[in-house]
Chains A and B, each alone.
Chain A
Amino acid sequence: MDEESIVYLGFSILAVFLLLIGLSNFGVFGFLMVILSLATVGIILVLNYADFLIFPVITKLLGISITLAKGNMAPKEQDRIVKYVNGLYYATGYLTANIYKYVFREEAIMGEDEQALAGAPEKWERIIINADFPFKFNIISNPKDIQKYREDLEGRRGFLEFQMSKESEREAPNSMTMQAIQRKMNILQARIDRISTGELPLNSIMYVETTAVGVSDKAAADALRNQLERLETLFSSLDLGVTRVTGREIHTLFKLNYVLYEGALMQKLFDSQS
């Protein structure tokens, strides 16, 4: 969890704790207050970890659609962006597509990554051949501040070294714990080594978007659902983490078609996907 989330969570839940400590103030309503307080904590936690579940439910129940820009609307289901052009409805949906296998994996067996990389172009072409509808695969990346990143890694390595020395000084050191710490240290060291060889650390977001067309909103939505399901199947060959994007994130992805932000605004997006 990032620092910002901790601040938001901490200060939002503080009032709930104040209420629970002073339960005697509510007299006969005390029990009801406990239930409401726990429900509030539950809602806040769900908003923090899985707001994509709550937001579409609320908009669907209230029948609220959102106009993101002229001619572009997110219907109450919040699972697509619909554009009406020349009597046709164009529905665009999104899938996350994290290429875990093709990025740096310190614990990977030597040669395994190379094999996956060598096979990727052919698998990608197979996806293109089998998809008979339009789609886009997008990668957004932003270089990290090398100095800051290196300092962060070295700081974490220092802390692990301290933990290791503390564990080894014990009368009966736990070999399992020491192995786990050593493994974490190796991972950090491998990252530091890669930076030393000139590699640039990057933040990245990957997602797939597809557009379906129909003579009505419903026809376009049905076609879009089919296309997204087919894409999930097709991209499974690349061993990607594919999940349909719903809720407020589709608003952000829509905006990323037109503008890429810098600094804290973009960092929030990278943090949320990681």
Chain B
Amino acid sequence: MALKSQMLLFIVFAGASMVCAVLTYTVGNSLLAFLLGVLALILAVVAFSTKYYMYLYIPAMRMKNKNIAISSAEPYLLSPSGTSIITSDENGTYASSFITIPIYKSGTEMSDQERLDIARLFSRILTVSKSTIKISSQLYIVNKDKYIAKIRNKLDESESKLRSVLQQAGSGTQITDRAKGEVTMWHNLLNNISASKSEALITYAMVSANGGNEEEASSIAYQHAEEVASGISAILGISAYVADGEEILNFIEPDRMIPVETVNELIHQKTVEEGI
């Protein structure tokens, strides 16, 4: 649809440009011919620019305060099922679903052959989809507040577990040492994450589907995502799954890559350090 209107607009401008150029042959006045010639040149540039900038033409006519608003709507809407995001534009209604690919392997622990194999397998996952697919690896800053709270809960749990183990008369040394080790591990983890900013890496895939309405697009996208998740799981030997709800936002929102609370904490720390 957009491509057709782009071509139509190009034909209109290119046609007008050629008409102006031809008219320069018919008018007798050299000044009038020159002005027509200049108009033909301007129209020629405008005609060519439709190839890349057609989407800006109509919004540019409604420009306010030197700002061209291509769209003032939200960039996407979360589908009622929570398994995809919906976008609508001049090309139709699209739904996109995301597949989380949990990979916990490290290249440093692999032999050369294993590294070669994983690189080959990874390139194979690009072929699991018959339509367009996006594979992304995202390094993001972990929302520390939530993480710290989680670690604290784990620490509390392990401490109460240690207490109950110590209170039990018949507990063996091995069980006690294990419980103590667990408490030490969570303690160390808590100290470490409080000292520096924590980052995490996540890999995901994205697929989109076009539909007559939001429900149809969302359902097709989800179905396609399920197929892709199965394909990826089989190739890499992992459990890839279709992300939903809040998890999707982690892949598309920049403020989820750098959480507000963490940034505020970092800015505060920096200010305190500079103050000292």
Which residues from chain A sit less than 8 Å from chain B, CB to CB? 4-5, 8-9, 11-16, 18-19, 22, 25-29, 32-33, 36-37, 40, 43-44, 47-48, 51, 55, 62-70, 72-73, 83, 85-86, 88, 90, 92, 102, 114, 117-122, 124-125, 128, 131-143, 200, 202, 204, 211, 213, 215, 248, 251, 256-262, 264-266
Contact = CB atoms under 8 A, between A and B. Distances in A.
B141 interface: yes
B158 interface: no
A197 to B, nearest CB: 13
A248 B87 contact: no
B266 to A, nearest CB: 9
Contacts of B210: 262
Contacts of B56: 66, 248
B38 A36 contact: yes
A48 B96 contact: no
B260 A141 contact: no
B136 interface: yes
Contacts of B107: 121-122, 124-125
Contact of B18 (A15, A33, A135, A261): A15
Contacts of A257: 75, 252
Nearest to B94: A259
B40 A19 contact: yes
Interface string B1-36: 011000000100010011011101101001101100
B41 A18 contact: no
A265 B91 contact: yes
B255 A29 contact: no
B92 to A, nearest CB: 9
Contacts of A135: 138-139
Given A8-B51, A67-B69, A69-B70, 14 more contacts: A12-B14, A25-B24, A26-B30, A29-B34, A36-B37, A47-B51, A65-B68, A121-B115, A122-B107, A125-B108, A134-B258, A257-B75, A261-B208, A265-B2
B265 interface: no
A41 to B, nearest CB: 9
A12 B91 contact: no
B168 interface: no
Nearest to B20: A15
B208 A121 contact: no
A98 B110 CA distance: 26
A260 B206 contact: yes
B64 to A, nearest CB: 10
Nearest to A72: B75
B31 A29 contact: yes
Interface string B248-264: 00001011011010010
Contacts of B3: 264-265
Given A19-B40, A260-B207, A136 B255 contact: no
A137 B136 contact: yes
B49 interface: yes
B191 interface: no
Interface footprint category on B: 35 or more
B70 A251 contact: yes
Contact of B254 (A19, A65, A211, A258): A211
A196 to B, nearest CB: 16
26 contacts: A15-B20, A25-B25, A27-B33, A28-B30, A62-B66, A64-B63, A66-B69, A67-B70, A69-B74, A69-B75, A72-B75, A85-B255, A86-B260, A88-B255, A118-B115, A118-B116, A118-B119, A132-B199, A135-B138, A142-B131, A251-B55, A258-B75, A258-B252, A259-B94, A260-B207, A265-B91
B99 interface: no
Contact of A122 (B71, B108, B134): B108
Top 5 nearest A-B pairs (CB, nearest first) are A27-B30, A121-B107, A69-B75, A18-B21, A12-B48
Contacts of B55: 251
Given A121-B119, A260-B208, A69 B30 contact: no
B24 A22 contact: yes
Contact of B30 (A25, A90, A125, A260): A25
Contacts of B260: 85-86, 88
Contacts of B110: 121
Given A47-B48, A140-B133, A262-B132, A83 B254 contact: yes
A137 B30 CA distance: 58
B165 interface: no
Nearest to B206: A260
A99 to B, nearest CB: 10
A8 B45 CA distance: 10
Interface in B68-91: 68-76, 85, 87, 89, 91
A114 B116 contact: yes
Given A12-B44, A67-B70, A139 B139 contact: no
